[in-house]
Amino acid sequence: MGQITKRAYKLSDGRDLIYFDDADTALPPDRGPDLREPAVRPPTATMRQDVLTGEWISIAAARQNRVVLPPSHLDPLAPASPDNPSEIPSPYDVAVFENKSPSFGPGLAGVAAQGGAAREGAAAPESPEAPTGLADLAWIGLGRSRQSVGRCEVVCFSPEHTGSLAGVSLSRMRTVVEAWADRTAALSALPGVEQVFPFENRGEAIGVTLHHPHGQIYAYPYVTPRTAQLIRTIGTYGGTLFEDILDFEQKSERVLLRGEHWTAFVPFAARWPLEVHILPHRHVPDLAATTDEERDEFSRLYGQLLRGVDALYSTPTPYISAWHQAPVNAHRDDVRLMLQLTSPRREENKLKYLAGSEAAMGAFIADIPPETAAARLRAAIPASTGGHFSAGSPPS
């Protein structure tokens, strides 16, 4: 078997397109050009500050025009064909490209460099200034706006219109993990980016607009509210928080899978009917800092977990799979990389909706005891074909 190979190209409007070829790929090395007519990119969105919380809300009106659940012959993430001039010109294993209608995008100079409004001779759209740093964004005042500088990328897990990450080969899963790590490093190096967030929304119940198996990566110009709260918690608890969580959970009956480098468990205070956290055994701030051995093991463990999630019911379970990573420029020694997978599905035909207490107050009420959820998942997770992982079991 060879190595995972990265191949960088440009789309007709200047957006980046990157192919990641499986280590055992059958594809040729060369890829075709994007033959579509160049299009003008939408202006970068604007952020407005919520003065009640200090949080920043990106107003991304161009997202209203995105395609919603198209038929398979018009799948924008499939390899392009004469009848379907899609976002990806050639066959691929895994492909990553800049979102055409992003929530966070390049500053005005970046748009011009990529051939946006400037290429057509149009005037650059009026926009508030870009953030000048975290101190600028931390100040609270009425009517504050900033440009939503950052980046949004789409990660296509397969060229097939249907399917899921649970069904890909081990080689393909490893390629996806490599793409996440590569893009985390690349996006962290962009000016103005403060946090990088790879994630997957799976299922119409979650709100996906494309059936094609894919995920996304957001590069934010701020530290997200969830991570800011975590940093405050670490400040109160102390720097051993993640080490202590791992030790506490590994001794519990909520462990699902445990390998040499990672442990998957249902957390003690799970909010969602299905909630799984995966922690590395050593401190790493983000995916870019993981080793090849850690990525290899995670690929096997995560595939097992996703197959178990899909085995819970007779139809695929909707979920959000979210990589929580340390901020780019701060708290790298405190915030540990963690994957959190959550689903609102509480029974075969029942979903948990965020109603008054959860949506308005952020105060969750759990429907299923975490120990019960863990037992169900352990029973559904298939045994490792390689014998590398052990399923969790209640401590003796």
Extract the tokens encoding 284: 């790493």
In angstroms, the Cα distances linking 180 to 18, 77, 94, 148, 187 are 12, 18, 11, 22, 10
Annotation: CATH topology of 5-222: HIT family, subunit A (3.30.428)
Whether the CA torsion 292, 297, 301, 304 is positive or negative: it is: positive
In the chain, domain spans: 5-222, 226-391
179-233 pLDDT per residue, tens: 999 999 999 999 999 999 999 999 999 989 899 999 999 999 999 999 999 999 9
Domain 5-222 and domain 226-391 have a common topology: yes
Task: Collect all residues with Cβ–Cβ distance below 8 Å to 126 and sequence separation of at least 6.
Answer: none
Per-residue pLDDT, averaged over 166-191, amounts to 97
The most distant pair of C-alpha atoms in the chain lies apart, rounded to whole Å, by: 72
Extract the tokens encoding 191: 């000016």
Instruction: Exactly one of 214, 261, 277, 324 is catalytic; name it.
Output: 214
Nearest 10 degrees: CA dihedral of 99, 101, 106, 111? Answer: 110
CA–CA dist 145, 347 (Å, integer): 43
Is 214 among the residues known to form the active site? yes
At which residue do the structure tokens 């990672």 appear?
262
**Class of 226-391 in CATH:** alpha beta
280-327 pLDDT per residue, tens: 999 999 999 999 999 999 999 999 999 999 999 999 999 999 999 999
Q: Which region, left, alpha or beta, applies to residue 98 given φ > 0 means left and ψ of -120 to 50 means alpha? A: beta
**Has residue 86 got a pLDDT over 70?**
yes
The model's pTM: 0.93
Contact 99, 106 (CB under 8 A): no
| Residue 274 main-chain phi, psi, to 5 deg | -125, 115
